[in-house]
Structure 1
Amino acid sequence: MPQARIRLITFDLDDTLWPCLPAIQAAEQALHDWLRDHAPRLAEAHDIESMRAHRRAVMETMPEIAHDLGLVRHRSLIQLLEFFEYPIDLADGAVSLFLDHRSRVEPYADALPVLRSLAPNYRLVSLTNGNADAEATPLRGIFDHNLTAAGIGAAKPDPAMFRRALELTGCRADACLHLGDDPWTDVEAARALGIAAIWVNRTGRDWPDELPPPSLTVTNLYELTAWLNGGCTGDTDGI
């Protein structure tokens, strides 16, 4: 796809613009510490891993909310609080605390400078299945819109989030470029809608054998900038 046709660039967040695991680990630890003070019997019986297993069980028994990770966490906490005979309204404060810490991310060094350089020339929209709030991170004010699975009502690879980005910006699929780290929920999901997709592979992972290879792979966003400016970085056969 000729670079000159691109009007909209959509970005995944977790592990595309910032590392996900450190923020989640810190947020889960902060939540568990909070539970030690407010629901000690629960915190004594459940460590972080067993609480994670409980949330997975909630997702399996309530698939209609599985796309909304914050709601899943809230429902899981309500069940655990009820079991240990604590007030269920403690779940509100617990989730609020978690979400505050979840958004304390540290973007990759290339993310902010590249996004700032793109903003004058492209519409930028973030698309995430996670529950970090982009406006509570160092990337606040960068994106025209921030779309989440919880807000849309469906998680990628469902096309709803991509379609909403196109609607909000008045762009066609062939004028959009998506970047993300996940071969299935980012690259393949975008390609299914006719959206050009770039795989952001920061850690040297192997591409799944069962998927057609990505048209372009970058290890950082500076390579994206070079490609948009007509350079020849990254692994590309010409999007």
Structure 2
Amino acid sequence: MLRLRLLTWDVKDTLLRLRQPPGHSYAAEARAHGLRVQPEVLGRSFQEAYGAQRRRFPNYGQGRGLSSRQWWVDVVKQTFRLSGVQDESVLTAMAEKLYHDYCSANNWEPLPGASETLSQCRRRGFRMGVVSNFDNRLESILCQCELRQHFDFVLTSEAAGCAKPDARIFEQALRLGGALPRQAAHVGDDYSRDYRAARAVGMHSFLLRAAGQGEEPDVPPEHVLSSLSQLLARIEKE
């Protein structure tokens, strides 16, 4: 069995997932303002606006004079503009409302087995932390989804000043958790940002992959989780 002291966790699509795609939430907000915009159109526009914003201002505009709130408000406004909405006062109202809505359990839900697995890990005596490419709303979201109590710390890329797969965010997490790399394991759903990045700093790691998601060539089967409930058994076998 691995002599682990610290478990770190990704959040989005590892512990929490969106209740519905952004296009549907955005379409509902548009309807509240008397606008009819198709969810599929908004979904495509969101991907375009979000991708462009990430390339132009990585990690929520850190060091570029942007707050993460302004970063997201701009993404929402651009999503609606690309979908044909041009009224600036309506754009501002919808963007502010959606920014706050995405800070709540109205839009997020735990993945199956997340709460139970975290509780079991705590009972085994592991220190626990979050390492997530998220903005500063994450603490509130975790509280509302009743997961925050499981963690000793929550480290977002906004707070860390760098984002996964940058080694520095994992090094900060190790300091916060009081563990050496070999005493820690990271759990996440992204091959590059979670699995490989944690291993690059000397940590152990496990990759959450639903059936049919495809396989990465250099990930041993014993490091792949088809559900979170498999984690403790895999740790004990290592």
TM-score class, shorter? 0.7 to 0.9
Q: Tell me, yes or no, if the aligned pair for 2:8 and 2:184 is still in contact at 8 Å.
A: yes
- How far the C-alpha of 1:73 sits from its partner, in A, is 2.8
Q: How does 1:19-30 map to 2 (within 5 A)?
A: 20=17, 22-25=18-21, 28-30=23-25
- Structure 1 residue 57 corresponds to structure 2 residue 52: yes
Q: How does 1:25-174 map to 2 (within 5 A)?
A: 25=21, 28-38=23-33, 40=35, 43=37, 47-63=42-58, 65=60, 71-78=70-77, 83-86=86-89, 89-90=92-93, 91-100=95-104, 103-108=107-112, 110-120=113-123, 121-130=125-134, 133-174=141-182
Question: TM-score, structure 2 length as denominator?
Answer: 0.76
- How far the C-alpha of 1:9 sits from its partner, in A, is 0.5
Q: 1:126 to 1:74 in 2, by over 3 A?
A: same
**Structure 1 residues not aligned, in runs of 5+:** 233-237
Q: 1:139 to 1:65 in 2, by over 3 A?
A: closer
Partner Cα separation in structure 2 for residue 101 and residue 116 of structure 1 = 20
In structure 2, what is the equivalent of residue 186 of structure 1? 194
Partner Cα separation in structure 2 for residue 160 and residue 16 of structure 1 = 21
For 1:206, the aligned partner's letter is: G
Partner Cα separation in structure 1 for residue 7 and residue 104 of structure 2 = 27
Q: Tell me, yes or no, if the aligned pair for 1:55 and 1:72 is still in contact at 8 Å.
A: no
Report which stretch shifted further, 192-201 or 157-166: 157-166
Note the aligned Cα RMSD (angstroms).
Answer: 3.2
Partner Cα separation in structure 1 for residue 70 and residue 98 of structure 2 = 12
Aligned to 1:15, the other structure's residue is in SS state coil
- How far the C-alpha of 1:202 sits from its partner, in A, is 2.8
**Structure 2 residues not aligned, in runs of 5+:** none
Q: Tell me, yes or no, if the aligned pair for 1:30 and 1:101 is still in contact at 8 Å.
A: no
Partner Cα separation in structure 1 for residue 73 and residue 103 of structure 2 = 11
In structure 1, what is the equivalent of residue 215 of structure 2? 207
In structure 1, what is the equivalent of residue 229 of structure 2? 222
Partner Cα separation in structure 2 for residue 227 and residue 63 of structure 1 = 35
In structure 2, what is the equivalent of residue 10 of structure 1? 8
Aligned to 1:3, the other structure's residue is in SS state coil
Q: Identity across aligned pairs (percent)?
A: 23
Question: TM-score, structure 1 length as denominator?
Answer: 0.76
Q: Per-residue CA shift, 1:112-162, capped at 9, x if unaligned? A: 222112114010112222465222213231111122223323321112321
Aligned residues: 223
Partner Cα separation in structure 2 for residue 53 and residue 215 of structure 1 = 36
Aligned to 1:127, the other structure's residue is in SS state strand
Partner Cα separation in structure 2 for residue 222 and residue 94 of structure 1 = 33
- How far the C-alpha of 1:70 sits from its partner, in A, is 6.0
- How far the C-alpha of 1:92 sits from its partner, in A, is 2.2
